[in-house]
Amino acid sequence: MQHIALVGTTADAKLGFRAELIKDLVAQGHIVYAFAGDYTDKTRSAITALGAIAVPYHISRFGMNPLQDIYTLVQLIWLFKKYRIDLSFCYFAKPVIFGTIAARLAGVPRRVAKIEGLGRIFTIPATGDTRRAKLLRWVQTQLYRIALPCCETVFVLNPDDEQDLIRNNNIKVKRCINLGGIGINLSDYQPFTPKGSIRFIFVGRLLPEKGIGYFIEAAKILRQQGAAAEFVVLGEPDNAPGAINRSQLQHLVEQGTIFYPGRVLNVAEYLKQSHVFVLPSYYREGVPRSTQEAMAAGLAVITTNVPGCRETVIDNENGLLVPPHDVDALVAAMQKLVTFPALTEQMGRRSRALAEQKYDVRKINAIVINALAPEDPNKA
């Protein structure tokens, strides 16, 4: 039995993306402390129901104030000592950096980190890099250079992240394991081929780097061309610069460009009624969970040939890869699947098979838990 600190950012992300891991760790007999920065009574109760202990702490997810980050560091040192943590498991950029350093300073004997994509700072927009972006990338890389060597294991989700962050920057890590994805509960997604016109679906944050703008532009073009297709958008409006807001969504709905149902609790039902999942992202993804879910639901996938996204598609087998920032290529790919619906069904079946092979959360969790197991002192 180990006291494990699972250190992330938001409670919703922990419940949405770590619930299965928490349950598996608890089933192994470990005491799991779930660290998040925004607990409510509802999310705290949900974490407790999984068998873990909710631990609130302060973290500024996107802030650049070093004093706030120092406060986070000091608070984590105190909390790790208070709960006598045996193993820290940190994921997402700031928790990996400051959580791992805090664990080292607190004397936590075992430390693990998980890189789930390189994120916004490593994302290069169509307009190219800026001096500010290059500076922030350099600073974050230096912080990783301090934190990652403190870990006994670093998990990544795709080979590009290991190459671009760790190898290219000569960051010394003891062991790096490529998980290929965070995994999903396959039983939550049952393949089903709906009748009627081809339905394309976008699921994700409505941010420019996630490709929502390209999806909408492609939908407009295909509408103008008279394509027999429907276009569904799932995702919450975002306040970030360049994001699609609620009034813009309403206008697109009134124009007949997209169907937008607002906030939904069961994404699986909408995937079940769709044929093709589209993610024209240029964000430095790990491996998008939304794409893993769509594959488990038996959808063909159209996504970009960029790190993280390209791991989910074998081109012309379970979907199509397109270049980032290329709306013409995106339209051509979508038009191809409208024209050949039998190909769409074939790709969907292949997606499900790949999801069973690569993204079963039980298989991925088994790899993680095996890596977290303490070494047998009697082993030669």
Q: For 44-80, how does the pLDDT look when each residue is reduced to its tens digit (9 = 90+)?
A: 999 999 999 999 999 987 777 889 999 999 999 999 9
pLDDT, tens only, 284-296: 999 999 999 999 9
Cβ atoms of 124 and 282 closer than 8 Å: yes
Name the pLDDT band for 380 (thresholds 50, 70, 90): very low
Per-residue confidence (pLDDT) for residue 378, from 0 to 100: 53
Comparison of pLDDT for 195 and 33, the residue scoring more: 33
Q: In what order do the strands lie in the sheet with 31-36?
A: 53-56, 31-36, 3-7, 87-91, 110-115, 153-156, 176-178
Q: Model's pTM, two decimal places?
A: 0.92
Summarised one tens digit per residue, pLDDT across range 121-156 is: 899 887 888 888 899 999 999 999 999 999 999 999
- How far apart (Å, rounded) are the C-alpha atoms in residues 354 and 358? 6
Cα(283)–Cα(292) distance, integer angstroms: 16
pLDDT in tens, 231-243: 999 998 877 777 8
The pLDDT of residue 44 is 96
Q: Looking up tokens 């079946």, which residue turns up?
A: 349
Residue type, 340: F
Strand 276-279, strand 176-178: pairing: unpaired
Tell which wins on pLDDT, 62 or 159: 159
What residues does each domain of the chain span?
3-183+361-372, 186-358
Characterize 318-357 residue by residue with b for buried, 16 or more Cβ atoms within 10 angstroms of its Cβ, and e for exposed: bbbbbebbbbebbbebbbebbeeeeebeebbebbbebbee
Does domain 3-183+361-372 match CATH 3.40.50.1950? Answer: no
Domain 186-358 classified CATH 3.40.50.2000?
yes
